[in-house]
Structure 1
Amino acid sequence: MTELLPNFVHGAWVTGTGAGTPLVDPVTGAELVRVSSAGLDLPRAFAFAREQGGAALRAMTFGQRAERLAAIAKLLQSHREAYGAIALADSGTTAADTAVDVDGGIYTLGQYARWGAKLGDAKALLDGGATPMSKDGVFQSQHLLVPTRGVALFINAFNFPSWGLWEKAAPALLAGVPVIVKPATATAWLTQRMVADVVASGLLPEGALSVICGSSAGLLDQLQPFDVLSFTGSAQTAELIRSHPAVVRHSVRVNIEADSLNSALLMPGASDEAQALFVREVVREMTVKSGQKCTAIRRALVPQDRYESIGAAIAAKLAGITTGDPRDASVRMGALVSREQFDAVQAGIVELATQARVLFDGRRQPLVGADPAVSACLAPTLLACDDPDGSDLVHRVEVFGPVATLMPYRDLAHAQALIARGEGSLVCSLYGDTDGEHASALAACATELAACHGRVHIVSPSVATTQTGHGNVMPQSLHGGPGRAGGGEELGGLRALGFYLRRAAVQADGAVIQSLGALPLTV
């Protein structure tokens, strides 16, 4: 039997009981390692994190915690080659896709280290200015932000074992809140290895960072009133989390990032150059991480008179994507995370095809260096929905893989109405031009769509080489979305600290307010 990866809890490495769950190479099917959380003393683990890790982090200033984040980023960079090998074996990702995950996590840590350094010696932050509450102005009210006295529990998704950890942990640790992370089982190896490297370095105090691999059973039972919970995954699981007795009873603060039917919209009258950017981005979002991104483009909307030609252009580019074993240098798209995910994507394509035509069928494309009977490799599939008004599946069913649906619209109002049928998404991207009245049209469209998205990403020829990409989540901008996207908010610069800080109003003589020693929270 392969190695059973230990968990790090209450300051010690503890191996779970039982045979554990195997993690397998999604290309070859070979067993890699096993994970188990059975038998762990969860009450002790949570208490240790709250009492030991929390107290030690709160004793530090924001600036000191920022220094630790910067050091962690350097440490992780020094082990990058090992992380790439794990990602290749356990996630089946190409080198480029591994960089999105690993480098993205390291970059996010570095950004929060730089932002946190500006907060210096403060241990608390001011929310706004003081407000007089008496006629003479002496009695005042000041809103203060302080670290919550609980633990931050992260239950993460399989697609980003590195970035998914650090985009949450960076603001949590900077805020002074200890972290317990439960990575998705299928790709837990990379998360566990990164935590192991940080623990071995001694850069964080005991109890500040813990990792539990395997089943999540019993984790939510440990939550108490000052704890916070951040979840990334399906809407069905999110519903269970929100209704969990411990969450309800203790009013636990919860952040959810759920599945999302993100859109890309080619504006009316867009230039050929803007159209080419649209086509390129749709193809990129279908193939990066094999389409396994919560921000990936699922619905692509184009003017009716360009519907057929753009469909042909996207299909032509997809035909040039080589799919298979990422160990082969010619492969541009690797595997889905597991055979189970492979089957789910196949079933999703069949379901969508009841209301859409298949323009490019990845199921019929050859694989490079991968056995189709064993591997989880699947080439991209493009569908076309001729009647998006009369179809419901394309606005309701997300296929979490290299799949997108093209659809036509009559005018901009029609396109916006179709996008809104997604009932809330993480991101929508617009493609158009910025000369003359086009800039105003893009601005007006973005404003209209902002209510149902966490982010509106606008691409024009003027930013073709500098825009960060529809699906790339940058720490400077908000990540989250309303409705079916979960209603959560992450990142957005120092705004992310708000989830881990408690706001309280201090009412006192102005002299006391001035003595709080806190700095303003500038976003």
Structure 2
Amino acid sequence: MSTELLANHVANQWTCGSGTPTPLFDPVLGTELVRVDATGLDLAAAFHFAREQGGAQLRALSYRQRAALLTAVGQVLQANRDAYYDISTANSGTVRNDSAIDVDGGIYTLGYYAKLGESLGDRHFLVDGEAARLAKDPLFQSQHILTPTRGVALCINAFNFPSWGLWEKAAPALLSGVPVIIKPATATAWLSQRMVRDVLNAGILPPGALSIICGSSAGLLDQLQAFDVVSFTGSAQTAALIRSHPAVVQRSVRVNIEADSVNAALLLPSADSADSATALGLLAKEVAREMTVKAGQKCTAIRRVLVPAHLYDAAAQAIGAQLAKTTVGNPRNSAVRMGSLVSRAQKNTVEQGLSLLQAHTELLCDCRGMALLDADPAVASIVAPVLLGTRDPDANATVHEVEVFGPVATLMPCRDLAHALELIRRGQGSLVASLYGTDPAALAQTALELADSHGRVHVVSPDVAALHTGHGNVMPQSLHGGPGRAGGGEELGGVRALNFYHRRSALQASSAVLAQAIPAT
């Protein structure tokens, strides 16, 4: 593997940092891969160029024309897909199926928004609802519209999805006509940088439409102006710093946050033992999958598992049996089903969080004693799956507050449905909750009860056992985000994603003027 210094792309040119580079490592082998540095970049010029040059050229295009750009971007990425898989394996330590979630998920999201943009046609703004009459005479009306913001979208991404995290933000922004500056997490910036490099080298996008800065983010927020927007995925601590920055507090820069989330999975109580067994099987399979996919490094992964009290032991056995089938080790070995965490630093963080949870729980299934395949435990950033349990979740605040960002989940019993809902809400707002049962009426009622505190409620019943997309899998058609602790943000959700990159305004005028401004389609 190369140890090149990855260049940043700002103000329509590739530029290397002038400071001491940060090395990126293979989390399984421990070898150095590439280096990144953003020291000395002219950030003011970078933001100005993107805002004035990239933004103007994107806004001059219609939604249909911008959609064509997204299609072309997707074609470039598809052509280089194998290289992205190799980088994902080397820099993120993921098995092929997990790399697919990131790489192919990003390409799929681009394609989805390309098709959506085609359906929006040749307009340069969106119509929001019907015109409203403002006086007794219908001649004078108000029509709400959405126009692209005349600023930059600063997209700050987390380390776990260097491809999907990039394109699920960039696709709606570019389709909206807003230039994008990408700041990937340093530890896994290689994949993001390579994808952006391939797209820019293909000459698809207008100059300034897409930029990338790899390395330290110092000074980025200082460049923000009133009509810029920030889309952030990461820790609640960093989110708080962003929200308190003068650009946000004083200049009202719009911010979207997707942060920590102690997501829950709930097995609904049932009087029928056969139904309970069926639903328990569905839950056990999904919990094990969510614990092991991406080594549990997903903001949407299941962290708390709630079951009727009399099924606590059975659930522990069922989930443990699923976890026991998981082979862990070097993702280059085709027999391995779960790879590593992204770095030694992340491994240390997971182990510290796990120790904290263990002090308040019991060990139900500990796979850390299993042999790793083709991996040296002294070098590899691997933590095998661990299922914890607490029999008194009411008195155990820690399990509702601490998120271990790895292959760790905690099982807990509930007396009845009301008790379960109370426990789930102690997560203080989450990205997703999943429900498992066989009674459509009970599942529907419970889903509606949880909707106010979750961005997404994922319901798994026997009729969709082979169809559902997964508790933790984020689809562009559905909302991604959540209230409270989860950050209070909203991403994706089909055309809703474009709202963040537009400004809503009301045109108050005669029907003749409105007819000129908004021609009939």
TM-score w.r.t. the length of structure 2 is: 0.98
Contact 1:123 1:518 in 2 (8 A): no
Identity %: 65
**SS, match of residue 517 in structure 2:** coil
Q: Residues 412 and 515 of structure 1: is their aligned pair in 2 closer, same or farther, counting only changes over 3 Å?
A: same
CA distance in 1, matches of 2:64, 2:3: 42
**Residues 115-194 of structure 1 mapped to structure 2, 5 A cutoff:** 115-194=116-195
Q: How does 1:239-388 map to 2 (within 5 A)?
A: 239-269=240-270, 270-388=275-393
Distance 1:2 1:331 in 2: 27
Instruction: Give how far 1:18 is off.
Output: 2.0
C-alpha distance in structure 1 between counterparts of 2:268 and 2:137, whole Å: 57
Q: CA deviation at 1:102?
A: 0.5
Aligned-pair CA distance for 1:440: 1.2
Does the 8 Å CA contact 2:227/2:253 hold for their aligned counterparts? yes
CA gap 1:320/1:411 in 2 versus in 1, 3 angstroms: same
- After superposition, residues 439-458 of structure 1 pair within 5 angstroms as 439-458=440-459
Distance 2:120 2:203 in 1: 23
Change (3 A) 1:519 1:199: farther
Q: Quick check: 2:269–2:276 contact (8 Å CA) kept in 1?
A: no
- The residue that corresponds to 2:406 in the other structure is 401
Aligned to 2:231, the other structure's residue is in SS state strand
Contact persistence 1:277–1:464 (CA under 8 A): yes
Q: Residue 123 of structure 1 aligns to which amino acid in structure 2? A: H
459-468 or 311-320, which deviates more: 311-320
Amino acid at match of 1:297: I
Task: Show the counterpart of 1:224.
Answer: 225
DSSP-derived class of the 1:250 partner? coil
The answer on whether the counterparts of 2:19 and 2:38 sit within 8 Å (CA) in structure 1 is no
1:63 aligns with 2:64: yes
Supply the distance in 2 between the matched residues of 1:91 and 1:502 (Cα, whole angstroms).
Answer: 37
Aligned equivalents of 2:516, 2:116: Cα separation in 1:
24
Q: Deviations over 1:199-218 (max 9, x none)?
A: 01111100000000000000
Tell me the CA shift for residue 134 of structure 1: 2.2
Paired AA for residue 453 in structure 1: H
**Is the partner of 2:481 in helix, strand or coil?**
strand
Match of 1:424 among 397, 404, 429: 429
Between stretches 358-367 and 494-503, larger displacement belongs to 358-367
1:105 aligned partner? 106
CA distance in 2, matches of 1:26, 1:133: 63
Conserved 8 A contact 1:265-1:431: yes
Native 8 Å contact 1:126 1:518 kept in 2 = no
**Pair 1:88-2:93 in alignment:** no
Q: How far apart in 2 are the matches of 1:344 and 1:133?
A: 58
* Letter in structure 2 aligned against 1:145: L
Cα deviation for residue 459 of structure 1 reads: 0.3
**Runs of at least 5 residues in structure 1 that lack an aligned partner in the other structure:** none
* Equivalent residue, structure 2, for 1:460: 461
Could you say what secondary structure the match of 1:2 adopts?
A: coil
Deviation at 1:496, TM superposition (A): 0.5
State the match for 2:213 in structure 1.
212
Tell me the secondary structure at the aligned position of residue 496 of structure 2.
Answer: helix
Task: Give the counterpart letter for 1:310 in structure 2.
Answer: A
Query: 3-state DSSP class of the match of 2:250?
Result: helix
Matched, 1:43 2:48: no
Name the structure 1 match of 2:419: 414
CA distance in 1, matches of 2:350, 2:219: 30
Please name the residue that 1:53 is paired with: 54
> Which amino acid letter does the alignment assign opposite residue 327 of structure 2?
T
What one-letter code is carried by the residue in structure 1 that aligns with 2:178? V
| Per-residue Cα deviation, 1:280-320 (whole angstroms, up to 9, x for no partner) | 00000000000000000000001111100110111122112
Q: Deviations over 1:342-364 (max 9, x none)?
A: 11111111100111101112332
AA at the equivalent of 1:55: A
Counterpart Cα distance in 1 of 2:196 and 2:134: 48
1:475 aligned counterpart, secondary structure: coil
Shift of 1:517: 3.2
- Deviation of 1:190 after TM superposition, in Å, equals 0.2
Q: Structure 1, residues 431-464: CA drift from partner, whole Å, max 9, x if none?
A: 011xxxx211111101111111000000001001
Equivalent-residue separation in structure 2 for 1:341 and 1:358 (angstroms): 22
Cα distance, 1:378 vs. partner? 1.4
Post-superposition Cα deviations, 1:468-510, rounded to whole Å, max 9, x if no partner, equal 0000000000000000000000000000000000011111111
Q: What SS class does the counterpart of residue 515 from structure 1 fall into? A: helix
Counterpart CA distance in 1 for 2:302 and 2:212 is 31
Structure-2 separation of matches of 1:162 and 1:286 = 21
Aligned length: 516
Which secondary structure does the structure 1 equivalent of 2:457 belong to?
strand
User: How far does the alpha carbon of each residue in 1:215-238 deviate from its partner, in whole angstroms, 9 at most, with x for none?
Assistant: 000000000000000000000110
**Residue equivalent to 1:20:** 21
User: Deviation digits for residues 363-387 of structure 1, max 9, x if unmatched?
Assistant: 3222111111111011100001111
- Separation in structure 2 between the aligned mates of residue 348 and residue 132 of structure 1, nearest angstrom: 57
1:379–1:518: structure 2 CA closer, same or farther, 3 Å change rule?
farther
SS of residue matched to 1:498: helix
* CA displacement at 1:137 relative to structure 2: 1.1
Q: For residue 444 of structure 2, what is the amino acid of its counterpart?
A: A
Contact 1:144 1:503 in 2 (8 A): yes
Give the ranges of 4+ consecutive aligned residues of structure 1 lying more than 6 Å apart after TM superposition: none
